[in-house]
Structure 1
Amino acid sequence: MDNFTFYSPTKFVFGSNTESQCGSLVKEFGGTKVLIVYGGGSVVRSGLLDKIKQSLSASSINYSELGGIVPNPKDDKVYEGIDICRNEKVDFVLAVGGGSAIDTAKAIAAGVPYDGDFWDFFSGKASVQKALPVATVLTIAAAGSEGSGNTVITKVDGMLKRGAGSDCLRPVFSILNPQLTVTLPAYQTACGAADIMAHVFERYFTNTRDVEITDRLCEAVLLTMINEVPKVIKHPDNYQARANIMWAGMVAHNNTVGVGRSHDWNSHGIEHELSALYDCAHGAGLAVIMPAWMTYVKNHDIMRFAQAAVRIWGCEMDFQNPENTAIEGITRFKNFLSSIGLPVTFKELGAKEEDIPLLVKNFGIGNGKTGGFVPLGKDDIEAIYRLAL
């Protein structure tokens, strides 16, 4: 196990009706003027947004609003939010929704005190050193942004999807009420599940040795997803299954399961180009890319893939040829994704073979390599897209 520092300051308030505590929590963390960032749609129709406004007003917290956040959130809304915060002296950003609202809120929070263009954080020109406090009211278990310091935004000019991160972007509090997820369509639930599982696999496939504790934690989260997701696909109002999935999503990405070990993140990067170009759900793109990536890199550490197959997917170990076990595990993963209604090929996703050169170009590594498990160059990335055909 590698040396590590683990910092996870978020206060999690979990359970039914916890959104009613929003106002008192904002006050607890020093907020006096809040920007509420949300998408619209169900947040408005369900009455959740009004409930949050009432909670803020009851605690004498003033607020402004920024609605209309879309999946694969765009930079234009970030610029709009930064302007609102500066003009209206906002000192706290509250995201209501899923990963898109939360990521937008984080980017706004980072951009307000920064003298330059917030995109500098996403292009690698600058790092986030300070930000307004951010909090969340989560409505979909998926991105894990409610517990992480990460944010992903798409730049409309060029449709570049990039990430940034800093511990000062970790939410100061996150309200997690599983009841808010029961009305999600089955497809959105499945996409969220794929994202959660991908967050764990990006950590599980590591070159760090002797990490039994986090191996087992990773496996526990993945087994939970395998057990609980089919339940909510069949019975959307199963609160207890929703609760387990919601907490799994947080644990998967606040790095509880990733400390002391190297990570990869190539699958996320490769997928980002799909969702940037086609505006598909991130989880759907990951369902296509993850099995293809696994197939391409498995021989780098065949025993780790065989271990995953045995411990996670219940395969029998073929000691004479562990590659058979590894392949069976990847196949079972792909079949699981398909069984919960997700695409597993370019065709099913709506992606096009003729766009592969553009996808590789937009990935933007030139002649370099990227990734922590198996460093990949542009030829490798193209090969993975073709495996996903």
Structure 2
Amino acid sequence: MQNFTFDNKTKIIFGKDKEQVVGEESVVYGKKLLLHYGGGSIKESGLYDTVLNSLKEQNIEVYELGGVKPNPRVSLVREGVTLCKENNIDFILAVGGGSVIDSAKAIAAGAKYDGDVWDFFTGKGAVTECLPIGVVLTIPAAGSESSAGTVITNEDGDYKRATGSLLMRPQFAILNPVLTYTLPSYQTACGVTDMMAHILERYFTNEKNVELTDRLCEATLKTIINNAHTVIEEPTNYDARAEIMWAGTIAHNDLLDTGRIGDWASHDIEHEISGIYDIAHGAGLAIIFPAWMKYVYKHDINRFVQFANRVWDVEIDLNNPEKTALAGIKKLEQFFSSIGMPVSLKEVDINDEHFTEMAKKATERWPLGNFVKLHADDVEKIYQLAR
């Protein structure tokens, strides 16, 4: 087990009607607030009015910036940075899912930086100061509500890149499973896939003697698997929604990282797909993760056997561990298909036109992954496996 420091400052406020306390939680950080959100869904649901009323009760001056899209754009982030600087904003409140939260994090960092916010995503700048952020979560998926990272897309060149800093962790996150009742089933399934991928990135490690976090990863995966069909088939099942929502946070709050080094190649490989084709991140991960597994499983067959057995209850074939490992990968693919996710690029009408370009872009700064180091030719082969 690696040495580690676990530091997560995010206050989780979980349960029914908890969005009503957003004003009293926010006022601690100042009187001038940027309310950041996506489209019209929070207004249609009444959440916008609830949040605004709670903020006004605390005499908070509210500035607004809506319009966040899936795979959030740096152009809107730049608008937010300008708005914050011109109005001396004290605090940013993100109301939405991972895209909104990621956009808010980038704005929060950019508002305290003299250069262009994209510098953080290219390695030209480092986050040394950040406006405080709060969250009202509406889509359990990305885990950004208590993570230290953000992912932003630059329309100039279709680059989708990540950056991170402990300063970006939200001060608080309000999680009310009821707010997820109206999510379309496809969006719910994309969220399930995203949170599972966050766990799998951590699970496939070269670190030995990490039994506790192995078991935590496996338990969280099994909880998601056990509740996924229920939330899709019974969208107002509070208990199942609560399990999925909390699992999504645990999947990406760094607890499952402790003592181990994760991989993260699949996320970087997928970012090139959604950067160019603008597909849902969860859908892209459902395609890429099994393909990555098929490419690297021989590196540590025993870990893949453990995954198959403990997560999918595949009986271990002592005479043929490779058969067991492949059965686990197949089970993952079948599960993704069963919740309506694509498991091939063909299913989302993506051909091999940009494979070489995407592989080069994905690896232009360094090889991908830690479990197995991947260069451009490896990444292109994974895209081919995903066809």
8 Å CA contact retained: 1:291, 1:333:
yes
In 2, distance between residues paired with 1:353 and 1:157? 22
In the alignment, which residue of structure 2 is the partner of 1:384? 382
In 1, distance between residues paired with 2:373 and 2:359? 15
In 1, distance between residues paired with 2:283 and 2:189? 8
- What's the C-alpha RMSD, in Å, of the aligned pairs? 0.8
In 1, distance between residues paired with 2:279 and 2:350? 9
SS in 1 for 2:34: strand
In 2, distance between residues paired with 1:68 and 1:385? 32
8 Å CA contact retained: 1:365, 1:377:
no
1:292 aligns with 2:329: no
In 2, distance between residues paired with 1:194 and 1:118? 29
In 1, distance between residues paired with 2:325 and 2:299? 12
What one-letter code is carried by the residue in structure 2 that aligns with 1:336? F
In 2, distance between residues paired with 1:89 and 1:125? 25
In the alignment, which residue of structure 2 is the partner of 1:25? 25
Note the alpha carbon deviations across 1:227-259, whole angstroms, 9 max, x for none: 000111111111110000000000000111111
SS in 2 for 1:162: strand
What one-letter code is carried by the residue in structure 2 that aligns with 1:135? G
* Identity rate, percent: 55
In 1, distance between residues paired with 2:125 and 2:330? 41
8 Å CA contact retained: 1:310, 1:316:
yes
8 Å CA contact retained: 2:24, 2:58:
yes
In the alignment, which residue of structure 2 is the partner of 1:99? 98
In the alignment, which residue of structure 2 is the partner of 1:14? 14
Structure 1 stretches of 5 or more lacking a match?
none
Deviates more, 1:33-42 or 1:169-178: 33-42
SS in 2 for 1:374: coil
SS in 1 for 2:256: coil
Alpha-carbon offset, residue 41 of structure 1? 2.2
Alpha-carbon offset, residue 357 of structure 1? 1.6
In the alignment, which residue of structure 1 is the partner of 2:158? 159
1:3-152 mapped onto 2 (5 Å cutoff): 3-28=3-28, 30-152=29-151
In 1, distance between residues paired with 2:339 and 2:292? 20
Alpha-carbon offset, residue 361 of structure 1? 2.6
8 Å CA contact retained: 2:363, 2:375:
no
In 1, distance between residues paired with 2:80 and 2:142? 21
In 1, distance between residues paired with 2:226 and 2:43? 32
1:351 aligns with 2:360: no
In 2, distance between residues paired with 1:190 and 1:265? 21
Note the alpha carbon deviations across 1:13-69, whole angstroms, 9 max, x for none: 0001111000000123x2211101100221111111111010000011111000010
What one-letter code is carried by the residue in structure 2 that aligns with 1:50? D
In the alignment, which residue of structure 2 is the partner of 1:373? 371
Structure 2 stretches of 5 or more lacking a match?
none
In 2, distance between residues paired with 1:241 and 1:176? 14
In 2, distance between residues paired with 1:73 and 1:22? 24
In 2, distance between residues paired with 1:156 and 1:336? 33
8 Å CA contact retained: 2:268, 2:368:
no
What one-letter code is carried by the residue in structure 2 that aligns with 1:7? D
In 1, distance between residues paired with 2:40 and 2:221? 31
In the alignment, which residue of structure 2 is the partner of 1:304? 303
8 Å CA contact retained: 1:285, 1:349:
no
In 2, distance between residues paired with 1:41 and 1:94? 16
In the alignment, which residue of structure 1 is the partner of 2:231? 232
Alpha-carbon offset, residue 350 of structure 1? 2.2
In the alignment, which residue of structure 1 is the partner of 2:275? 276
Alpha-carbon offset, residue 6 of structure 1? 0.6
In the alignment, which residue of structure 1 is the partner of 2:244? 245
8 Å CA contact retained: 2:143, 2:249:
yes
In 2, distance between residues paired with 1:40 and 1:370? 34
For normalisation by structure 2, the TM-score amounts to 0.99
What one-letter code is carried by the residue in structure 2 that aligns with 1:13? I
In 1, distance between residues paired with 2:325 and 2:370? 20
Note the alpha carbon deviations across 1:113-172, whole angstroms, 9 max, x for none: 111111111001122111000110000010000010100000110010000000000000
SS in 1 for 2:35: strand
SS in 2 for 1:275: helix
In 2, distance between residues paired with 1:172 and 1:140? 18
